Amino acid sequence: MNAADTLTTHRLILRRPEPADFEPFCAFMMSDRTRFLGGPKSRRIAFDRLANFAGHWVMRGYGRYIVTDRATGRPLGHAGAFQHDDTIPPEMAWSLWSADDEGRGLAREAAAETLRHYRADLGWPVVCARIHRDNAGSIAIARQLGGTQVPHDEGDTLRFDIALAQRGAA
Amino acid sequence: MMRPGPLAYPEITTERLRLVCPAAPDFDATAAYLMPGARAFVDQYPDEEAVWWSIATVIGHWHLRGYGHFAVIDKITGFHVGLVGPWFPKGWPEPELSWQLLDGAEGKGYATEAARGVLDWLFREKGWASCISLVDEDNARSVAMVERLGARAEGLFEHKITGPMRVFRHLPKTKAGRKLLEGFA
Amino acid sequence: MTTIPVLTTERLTLRGADARDIPAMRDFYGSDRSIYVGGPMTPELAWRQLASEIGHWTLCGYGRWMVDLTETGETVGNVGLWNPAGWPEPEIGWDLFAGHEGKGYATEAALAARAYAYDVLGWTTAISLVKPANAASAHVAGRMGAWLDSTFTHERWGEMQIWRHPGPDALSDGGMEAYA
């Protein structure tokens, strides 16, 4: 079953990527806010990445949501699951594009809503998050969402698995 | 420094088999594989030492990856029949569903049944979207088995250690899995 | 697996190996430093070596620890108790990683491992296997109060000296500190 195109929380609307998201997304990608993701990145890479977000929805039937302010419609960031690598669980992201929007729990609110949807509506068992070991803010969110660290050997990247479903014995 | 959480020791049950994690604290690997008189693996190791190292590696693989080969036990007799699971030591292209049977356990469909159980676990519990098996070109029996499992041939992988291997890809038996497969076909 | 205990000495923390140790093991087993312990070997085989180090704990109930400098967290070696199939008897072994020689780390960690073997596991004797050409390793054995006892020829590793450690009774007067 495909993921919902739109999710709504108290303060946010999460929707699929649109062309108009490019400029604010590009500003984020070219800023030092992507330092834990190997950034800052070029405009070309930013375009590739957003096209990737859009294309993943076609390939997998789910993908990164653009997180928007429910009142104004302004795009604030992105959140949701990706699966580039078939042999680990779908990988989560929760990023706010501007520092001005930090400190109000918006990234966590968006991520928590996607997890609720994956668990309750899609029946997914588990997702993961790969986070740079110095990215304390993101690690804190992973832990608040129920993530536990699992073995991983990718240098400075830590992996957290977030179990969604409590399954009974087979 | 942050440490990984404790390793979970999963168990899988199929119709005839119980699959347990050989890294679990209550699993006696010595009794199962290493005692004098323990049944040998069908793919003969050169000597007892090689079996010891192999079993130690199988256990450590769980700790390094969080998954690995399950010890497969016949539910009724309690006999060990082999090791089946996702295998991803360094040098492999991606995790490989592989199996090793113990002497006398061949020809009963144990490997296929255990592999089905493991694939189900990978797709339903671990969130994997696909998994490969690598099969020696000349191993008709293994080719037949992965085809029975519904895997699709995907070309060759030149393995540094074992030479050219045929790649077969397992996908979840769901609409999304089939759709993905068709997308790439 | 028995949870791998953490041991601490004056300068060192001995802990169980995990995925973070893959690069250090690759570097050690890829270098000439590993010629006395089966190397040099490919990164693929070093990965398996690390996995089997962890499996050793499960199979034997003891094994080797990764040795960290407590102050900086830097990993300086792999030291502990070793008894895989084909070994003559349980052994205390030490591998030091490049750049950490000459500071007494191997001796300090091996003394902690020996105390654990005697006090916790109840070993009544212990040996260390030393390749004849490995003078640095023989020196560590000597500093620990061990003496050259006999030799042992392993099918694959060839001839090795067996250094016998003083037993727990011999160490009870003054304990391991007498040799530190």
Q: What's the CA angle centered on B147, arms B176 and B183, to 5 degrees? A: 30
Q: Which domain holds residue B103?
A: 11-184
**Secondary structure of A80-135 as H, E, C letters:** EEECCCCCCCCEEEEEECCHHHCCCCHHHHHHHHHHHHHHHCCCCCEEEEEEECCC
Chains A, B: CB pairs < 8 Å: 66
Question: How many other CB atoms are there within 10 angstroms of residue A140's CB atom?
Answer: 12
Residue C125 pLDDT: 96
Q: What is the pLDDT of residues C8-41, one digit of tens each?
A: 999 999 999 999 999 999 999 999 999 988 889 9
Q: How far apart are CA C130 and CA C94, in angstroms?
A: 10
Nearest CA in chain A to B128: A87
Output the DSSP codes for B15-32. Answer: SSEEEE-TTSTT--HIII
Its sign, for the CA torsion C121, C126, C127, C128, is positive
Mean pLDDT of A33-43: 90
Residue A33 pLDDT: 92
Contact criterion met (CB below 8 Å) for C27 and C43: no
Chains that touch A (3 or more CB pairs under 8 A): B, C
Query: Angle, nearest 10°, between helix axes B175-184 and A43-60?
Result: 130
Q: Is the pLDDT of residue A66 over 70?
A: yes
Nearest CA in chain A to C18: A151
Burial (CB count within 10 angstroms: exposed 0-12, middle 13-18, buried 19+), residue C79 = buried
Chains A, C: CB pairs < 8 Å: 7
Measure Cα distances from C92 to A73, B97, C125 in Å: 66, 37, 10
Q: Is the pLDDT of residue B180 over 70?
A: no
Q: Is the pLDDT of residue C2 over 80?
A: no
C87 touches chain B (CB under 8 A): no
CA distance A73 to chain B (A): 31
Contact criterion met (CB below 8 Å) for C166 and C146: yes
Q: Is the pLDDT of residue C50 over 80?
A: yes
Residue A40: asked if its preceding bond is cis (omega within 30°), the reply is yes
CA distance A151 to chain C (A): 6
Q: Do C51 and B59 touch (CB under 8 A)?
A: yes
Name the band, by pLDDT with cuts 50, 70 and 90, for residue A168: very low
Residue B110 pLDDT: 96
Residue length of chain A? 170
Burial (CB count within 10 angstroms: exposed 0-12, middle 13-18, buried 19+), residue A104 = exposed
Q: How far apart are CA B136 and CA B158, in angstroms?
A: 11
- Is B2 among the domain residues? no
Q: Do A151 and C23 touch (CB under 8 A)?
A: no
Which residues of chain B are within 8 Å of residue C55 when distances are taken between CB atoms? 23, 55-60
Q: How far apart are CA C122 and CA C117, in angstroms?
A: 6
C1 against C53, higher pLDDT: C53
Burial (CB count within 10 angstroms: exposed 0-12, middle 13-18, buried 19+), residue A107 = buried
Q: How far apart are CA A151 and CA C140, in angstroms?
A: 34
Tell the residue number behind the tokens 């040996």, with chain if given: C127
Mean pLDDT of chain C: 92
| Range with the poorest average pLDDT among A10-19, B112-121, C153-162 | C153-162
Q: Which of B95, B152, B99 is nearest to B128 (CA)?
A: B95
Q: How far apart are CA C10 and CA C92, in angstroms?
A: 20
Measure Cα distances from A110 to A69, A94, A139, C100 in Å: 11, 7, 16, 48
Give all domains of chain A, ordered by start, each with its CATH number.
Answer: 6-163 (3.40.630.30)
At C78, which amino acid appears? N
H or E element that contains B118 = helix B110-124
CA distance C2 to chain B (A): 6
The tokens describing B107, both together, are 């020809």
- Please name the member of B3, B48, B55 whose beta carbon is closest to the beta carbon of C55: B55
Between residues 71 and 90 of chain B, which touch chain C (CB distance below 8 Å)? Answer: 89-90
Q: Which CATH superfamily is domain C7-172 in?
A: Gcn5-related N-acetyltransferase (GNAT) (3.40.630.30)
Q: Is the pLDDT of residue A38 over 90?
A: no
Question: How many other CB atoms are there within 10 angstroms of residue B173's CB atom?
Answer: 11
Residue B2 pLDDT: 42
Q: How far apart are CA A40 and CA A25, in angstroms?
A: 12
Q: Do B57 and C51 touch (CB under 8 A)?
A: yes
- Is B3 among the domain residues? no
Q: Is the pLDDT of residue C176 over 60?
A: no
| Range with the poorest average pLDDT among A37-46, A151-160, C54-63 | A151-160
pTM for the structure as a whole:
0.88
A140 Cβ contact list (under 8 Å, min separation 6): none
Mean pLDDT of C102-114: 97
Residue A37 pLDDT: 86
B37 Cβ contact list (under 8 Å, min separation 6): none
Q: Do B25 and C19 touch (CB under 8 A)?
A: no
Q: Do B95 and A87 touch (CB under 8 A)?
A: yes
Nearest CA in chain B to C19: B64
Specify the CATH number for the domain of residue B176: 3.40.630.30
Which residues of chain A are within 8 Å of residue C19 when distances are taken between CB atoms? 151-153
B56 touches chain C (CB under 8 A): yes
Which residues of chain A are within 8 Å of residue B124 when distances are taken between CB atoms? 125, 167
Mean pLDDT of chain B: 88
Q: CA dihedral in degrees (B163, B69, B31, A150; nearest 10)?
A: 130
Contact criterion met (CB below 8 Å) for A81 and A61: no
Its sign, for the CA torsion B112, B113, B115, B119, is positive
Left, alpha or beta for A66 (phi > 0: left; psi -120 to 50: alpha)? Answer: beta
Helices then strands, each counted (H, E), chain A = 4, 8
Helices within chain C (DSSP H only)? 22-30, 43-60, 105-119, 135-143, 168-172
- Is B1 among the domain residues? no
Beta bridge partners of residue C68, listed in sequence order:
C13, C75
